[in-house]
């Protein structure tokens, strides 16, 4: 249970960090969509390990294989199965973790819940599982592009360093110009030095990612349980190492009065718009046509190369020093993953909106 996401555009991921590979099955993709590996591989290239000196050195090319659902370059409307094979697994680095629980990791809860776990690389709890999400979301993003919906995601904060608010949407080149994926050069340089310092001392740091969505039409989302921001929150908090989600003004907005926080409406060239956007592009759980923006908080990587107090499977006190190849900061590689989950949620709501409000002859 818990390995599928979405309803109309439904994905099911499978695989472990050091198993044969990571895969995904997509059900509900529209037929006749032009699709090949070239549409998917660039997204995986941004997610893969070994990209810079501040990420894990695990050497994986993460080459995607499309196994079903595509014929002669077009989707069939049938399930699409995709696979990325693991090639650089080093399970021996996790021998000590077979019986000892890593502090703040999933080892203890997996073992207690299931009574059996794959300790190599964290098994199913590894962030390597997110390959499946990124591959599926590449298809979602291609579909969203027909609606001219754009998703821009970048690192906003690492530890105690926060980039200034950017009024203009940064380009992909600006985001990718730094290994931190922070588009503000001065802050990015400081962030890189901070992550390197943490890595060299065997420690880790966390931070926050900002996601900005533009081109959303009015009407995506539903009231009560299926609010757009509620589904985004679930999607983001399903990612490994996430600890917080806020949309629009978020927690800072709670310190304001209603007269300060409300977004006044205006008629702008015949369209109803808001003068400010503290709502973050969503009101009543439904997109209002403004920029949708939200932040996702990530904790410091749990596996660190410092001695930590723990217990073993028998409950005996023990000491554990992490081994293996781990990101000292997950933020840079989490950028395309946050983007992916946003795309999956938005496509789901696009399909729901069109099914309910656009598909019947009596609707305008």
**pLDDT at residue 205 above 70?**
yes
pLDDT for the residue numbered 55: 74
* Burial readout 305-340 (b: 16 or more C-beta within 10 A, e: otherwise): beebebeeeeeeebebebebbbbbbbbbbbbbbbbb
Take residue 302 and report the two structure tokens written for it. Answer: 């749990």
- Higher local confidence (pLDDT), 134 or 310: 134
pLDDT band at 323 (very low <50, low <70, confident <90, very high): confident
**pLDDT at residue 39 above 90?**
yes
pLDDT band at 169 (very low <50, low <70, confident <90, very high): very high
* Percent of the chain at pLDDT exceeding 90: 77
Cβ count within 10 A of residue 12? 17
- Higher local confidence (pLDDT), 124 or 352: 352
**pLDDT at residue 351 above 90?**
yes
pLDDT for the residue numbered 95: 77
What's the pLDDT tens digit per position in 88-140? 767 676 777 888 898 898 899 999 999 998 888 778 888 899 999 999 999 99
Kindly state the average pLDDT of the residues 258-267.
Answer: 97
- Higher local confidence (pLDDT), 28 or 314: 28
- Higher local confidence (pLDDT), 361 or 151: 151
pLDDT for the residue numbered 324: 65
- Higher local confidence (pLDDT), 57 or 131: 131
pLDDT for the residue numbered 200: 92
pLDDT band at 57 (very low <50, low <70, confident <90, very high): low
Residue 335 falls in which region: left (phi positive, over 0), alpha (psi -120 to 50) or beta: alpha
Q: Which of 53-62, 119-128, 171-180 has the lowest mean pLDDT?
A: 53-62
Tell me the average pLDDT of the chain.
Answer: 93
Cβ count within 10 A of residue 79? 15
pLDDT for the residue numbered 51: 72
Domains of the chain: 4-357 (3.60.150.10)
pLDDT for the residue numbered 160: 96
Q: Whole-prediction pTM value?
A: 0.94
How far CA 131 is from CA of 23, 136, 145, 304, 355, in Å, comes to 8, 9, 21, 23, 29
Kindly state the average pLDDT of the residues 177-182.
Answer: 96
pLDDT for the residue numbered 347: 98
- Higher local confidence (pLDDT), 364 or 330: 330
């Amino acid at each position: 249970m818990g390995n599928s996401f979405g309803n109309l555009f439904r994905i099911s991921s499978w695989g472990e960090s050091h198993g044969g590979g990571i895969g995904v099955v997509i059900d509900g993709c529209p037929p006749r969509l032009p699709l090949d590996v070239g549409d998917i591989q660039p997204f995986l290239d941004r997610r893969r390990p070994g990209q810079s000196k501040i990420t894990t050195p695990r050497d994986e090319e993460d080459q995607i294989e499309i196994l079903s659902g595509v014929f002669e370059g077009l989707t069939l409307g049938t399930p699409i199965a995709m696979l990325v094979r693991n090639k650089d697994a080093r399970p021996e680095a996790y021998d000590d973790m077979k019986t000892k629980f890593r502090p703040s990791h999933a080892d203890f809860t997996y073992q207690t819940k299931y009574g059996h776990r794959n300790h190599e690389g964290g098994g199913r709890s590894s962030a390597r599982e997110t390959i499946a999400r990124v591959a599926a979301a590449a298809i979602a993003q291609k579909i969203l592009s027909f609606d001219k919906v754009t998703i821009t995601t970048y690192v906003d904060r690492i530890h105690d360093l926060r980039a200034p608010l950017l009024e203009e949407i940064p380009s992909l080149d600006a985001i990718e110009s730094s290994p931190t994926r922070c588009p503000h050069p001065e802050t990015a340089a400081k962030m890189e030095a901070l992550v390197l310092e943490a890595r060299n001392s065997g420690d880790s740091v966390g931070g926050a990612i900002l996601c900005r969505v533009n081109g959303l039409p009015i009407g995506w989302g539903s009231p009560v349980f299926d609010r757009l921001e509620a589904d985004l929150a679930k999607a983001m908090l399903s990612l490994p190492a996430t600890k917080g989600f806020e949309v629009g003004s978020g927690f800072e907005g709670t310190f304001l009065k209603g007269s300060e926080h409300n977004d006044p409406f205006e008629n702008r060239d015949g369209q109803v718009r808001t003068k400010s956007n503290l709502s973050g592009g969503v009101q009543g759980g439904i997109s209002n046509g403004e920029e949708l923006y939200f932040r996702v908080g990530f904790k410091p990587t749990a596996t660190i190369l410092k001695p930590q107090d723990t217990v073993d499977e028998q409950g005996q006190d023990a000491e554990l020093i992490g081994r293996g190849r781990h990101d000292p900061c997950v933020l840079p590689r989490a950028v395309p993953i946050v983007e992916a989950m946003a795309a999956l949620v938005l496509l789901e709501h696009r399909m729901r909106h069109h099914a309910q409000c656009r598909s019947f002859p009596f609707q305008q």
